[in-house]
């Protein structure tokens, strides 16, 4: 196992220099040991990923970004999670596979690519046969992504913004636009689309076996920046990848101390921290029609906020969205 990238850490674009091999935490707030918060079947992903059985999600603790609006802030920023060995990771994957998962979906593993690459190899060598899916912010170096080549075949990167002011204020990453576009270009180049038709009873669905679904979350009040993102995607990804435009931005009821909350609210001042309006939803639909992507997924607008997770709970998500198989508080 090659963990050299953890020494004077340079395994993500921040190159923060922490010696994570000696127990020091990087910008991601994690050392070289892997921690996770939750594993379970998830039914809220795009239809090509969820299919019949749901996506077998494993939520990793820590993150390379500091997204001010993060719905998973308890694990990405506040450290909820327990250490996971290679043996436990393989067991988690096999449990999900045995429950009918269509794939193993690694959520926010960008700060642990060297270790996860080895863990995925170990899982494949011990009976995991379903595809692995990489669900990330795309704030990743191509050098690190190369470690996942041939191991991960389904990629769910975000393209959050091409606006440096927004990425600086909201994510603490001024270089996010250039870094993530390079990462996404690498993903597309190395993972041409492969789809299979699968049957369950009399019903047939399409299942993504290899390829990229690029996600963009519309930020309330920032229509022009979404138009810029879709323009880039039309030029660089249309017909070669799938697009998922998301309209479910939801203000999170952060449970934090006053100083942390004030800092977070200051970052959020760059956008309108509210639900997406019906007018914005209609404008987005017009924008989609104008760009005419080969394949674009767009959900119906909803004011339901019950899906927001709480990783203190054994079931962080509503039952209709997820079926848990492991939780960080499990003995």
End-to-end CA gap in the chain: 28
Contacts 24+ apart (CB under 8 A), 173-180: 173/13, 173/14, 173/64, 173/65, 173/66, 173/139, 175/13, 176/65, 176/139, 179/13, 179/138, 179/139, 179/140, 179/141, 180/137, 180/138, 180/139, 180/140
Q: For residue 12, which of 62, 69, 73, 79 has the smallest C-alpha distance?
A: 62
Per-residue pLDDT of 31-68, as tens digits, reads: 999 999 999 999 999 999 999 999 999 999 999 999 99
CATH class of 29-327: alpha beta
CA distance 135 to 312: 22
Per-residue pLDDT of 103-126, as tens digits, reads: 999 999 999 999 999 999 999 999
pLDDT for residue 331 is more than 70: no
pLDDT for the residue numbered 182: 98
Per-residue pLDDT of 124-156, as tens digits, reads: 999 999 999 999 999 999 999 999 999 999 999
61-40-241-203 Cα dihedral, nearest 10 degrees: 180
Averaged confidence pLDDT in the chain: 96
| pTM, to two decimals | 0.97
The DSSP letter of residue 99 is T
**Structure token digits, residue 94:** 């096999």
pLDDT for the residue numbered 41: 98
**Structure token digits, residue 295:** 């394949």
The residues spanned by each domain of the chain are: 29-327
pLDDT, average across residues 71-76 = 98
pLDDT for the residue numbered 320: 87
**Structure token digits, residue 122:** 């170990």
For residue 30, count other CB atoms closer than 10 A to its CB: 23
CA distance 168 to 271: 13
Per-residue pLDDT of 87-108, as tens digits, reads: 999 999 999 999 999 999 999 9
């Amino acid at each position: 196992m090659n963990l050299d990238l953890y020494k004077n850490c340079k395994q993500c674009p921040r190159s923060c220099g922490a010696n994570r091999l000696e127990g020091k935490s990087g910008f991601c707030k994690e050392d070289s040991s892997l921690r996770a918060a939750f594993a379970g079947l998830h039914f809220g992903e795009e239809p090509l990923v969820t299919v019949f059985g749901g996506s077998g999600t494993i939520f990793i603790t820590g993150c390379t970004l500091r997204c001010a609006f993060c719905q998973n802030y308890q694990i990405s920023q506040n450290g909820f999670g327990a250490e996971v060995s290679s043996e436990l990771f393989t067991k988690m994957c096999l449990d999900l596979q045995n429950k009918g998962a269509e794939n193993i979906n690694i959520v926010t593993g960008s700060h642990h690519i060297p270790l996860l690459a080895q863990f995925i190899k170990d899982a494949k060598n011990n009976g995991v046969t379903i595809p692995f899916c990489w669900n990330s912010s795309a704030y990743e170096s191509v050098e690190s992504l190369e470690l996942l080549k041939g191991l991960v075949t389904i990629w769910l990167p975000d393209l959050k913004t091409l606006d440096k002011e927004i990425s600086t204020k909201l994510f603490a990453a001024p270089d996010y636009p250039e870094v993530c576009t390079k990462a996404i270009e690498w993903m597309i180049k190395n993972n041409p689309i492969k789809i299979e038709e699968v049957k369950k009873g009399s019903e047939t669905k399409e299942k993504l076996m290899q390829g990229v679904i690029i996600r963009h979350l519309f930020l309330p009040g920032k229509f022009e920046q979404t138009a810029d993102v879709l323009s880039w995607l039309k030029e660089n990804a249309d017909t070669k990848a799938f697009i998922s435009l998301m309209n479910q931005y939801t203000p999170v009821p952060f449970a934090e101390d006053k100083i942390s909350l004030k800092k977070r609210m200051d970052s959020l001042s760059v956008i309108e921290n509210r639900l997406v309006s019906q007018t914005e939803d209609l404008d987005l639909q017009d924008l989609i029609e104008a760009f005419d992507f080969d394949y674009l997924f767009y959900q119906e607008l909803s004011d339901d906020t019950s899906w927001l997770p709480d990783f203190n709970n054994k079931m962080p998500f509503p039952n209709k969205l997820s079926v848990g198989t492991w939780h960080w508080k499990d003995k």
